[in-house]
Amino acid sequence: MSTLVPHISEEEIWQRAEAVFSAMEARSTLEEMDMMRRAYQLAHDAHANQKRKTGEPYIIHPIAVALIVAEEMNLGAAPVCAAFLHDVVEDTPYTEDDIRERFGDDVAFLVRVVTKQKKARYDMTAQLDNFKKMLDSMHYDVRAILIKLADRLHNMRTMEFMTPAKQKEKSRETMDIYAPIAQRLGISKIKTELDDLSLK
């Protein structure tokens, strides 16, 4: 079993966030840069007392997803904001209306689409129910799917901290759902990495 990662300082957390801003600076307005920094700060504050299974502060995950969205997918400011905020509505007291009030309709829409809805009964599994909702949104905006692919990619990259049963479940789900979607969208590099991580 893998040991937990060493302590990560606030300075290192900020350096990782700065990598996202550096990746976006050349193609973003000052207003967009400000919005992305505010999205990061809200996510940082909202997840302040949460940890990942790795032992890391939870904010490390949204930062990593935002970096994939910024660097590997070359998306714009709104998807980067949504990547920072993608677990805020699901895991903290903040609501979609809070996101809309602070960041506008576009970011709120993306966060809503990638957020797993809390239901008493799911049509399928929670994950598949969520994915169906995203597919229903694709004719409006494919960026939501790309954010979810970035989320899954980072989770797969850090999967050694999950139980063997959870690793198998996530790997099967990734090969059956996420990798084919990446292929359909023409993101062969991410499709290949998802397959390789799943098979491992």
Among 71, 90, 106, 129, the one annotated catalytic: 90
B/e letters for 50-76, b = 16+ CB within 10 Å, e = fewer, are eebebebbbbbbbbbbbbbbbebbebb
Q: Which residues pair with 57 in a beta bridge?
A: 51
90 is catalytic: yes
Q: Which helix (H) or strand (E) holds 195?
A: helix 188-199
Among 32, 91, 96, 173, the one annotated catalytic: 91
91 is catalytic: yes
State both tokens at 64. 């990593």
Catalytic annotation, residues: 90-91
